[in-house]
Amino acid sequence: MPVAASVKSKKNKSLIERSILLKAYALMCTAKRMAELYDEKKEISSKYVHSTSRGHEAIQLATGLQLKEFDYAALYYRDESVLLALGMEAYELMLQLMAKRDDPFSGGRTYYGHPAIKKKGFPTIPHQSSATGMQAIPATGMAQAVAYLESQKLLKGKTNPLSFVRWVMDRLRKVRLPRHFKWRY
């Protein structure tokens, strides 16, 4: 059940259903335990480099529980808790960390912490570079594409979010963006 749909009236003590809170707590414990395990086992690795979502679990879980299949997410290397909230298993995230063949993002071909997935039931997470801040480029590109299409009045009547995203992507393949387009907000 989506978190947004589970909000209760203001008369109740909690605005979020108990089941959502329990799920978030369990995922926080999973993220915490993963970070501890990586630190405990670092001696068996020839080169240990890993950054976890430690300290960011609550906001990342809140974000991840809100994302839908029609959304796009430009995640960065410390977003493990978002991935857990989306339904990724700790084991899958560890496969990526260890660059294993069954890594769900790249089959072990990319540096850890670079999730990229296009899978039914998940938001689209595009692949990105290793450079710091590179998650901003795909996120900005999609936002600018939507702003351009809105400015051209090309989005009228597009209400279903999933079909809207597919329509935007198809349209972007056909529309040539002006070289020096000025965005107005």
Quote the DSSP letter at residue 155. Answer: -
Which pLDDT does position 126 carry in this prediction? 83
Domains annotated for the chain, with CATH where assigned, are: 4-132 (3.40.50.970), 135-185 (no CATH)
Q: Which long-range contacts (CB under 8 A, 24 or more apart) does 118-123 make?
A: 120/69, 121/69, 121/87, 122/69, 122/86, 122/87, 123/67, 123/68, 123/69, 123/70, 123/71, 123/72, 123/73, 123/86
No. of helices (H) and no. of strands (E), the chain: 6, 0
pLDDT at 174: 65
Question: Half-sphere exposure of 71 toward its Cβ, with a 13 Å CA cutoff?
Answer: 13
Cα separation of 41 and 135, whole Å?
29
pTM, two decimal places? 0.72
Alpha carbon 77 to chain centroid, angstroms: 11
How far is 184 from 180, CA to CA, in rounded Å? 13
Q: Report DSSP letters for 44-95, one per residue.
A: GSSS------TT-HHHHHHHHHH--TT-B----TT-HHHHHHHT--HHHHHH
How would you write the pLDDT of the chain (185 residues) with one tens digit per residue? 455 545 545 555 668 888 999 999 999 999 999 989 888 888 887 666 677 888 888 999 999 999 988 788 888 888 899 999 999 999 999 888 888 899 888 888 887 778 888 888 898 888 776 666 777 787 788 778 777 777 777 766 655 555 666 666 666 666 565 555 444 43
pLDDT of residue 144: 82
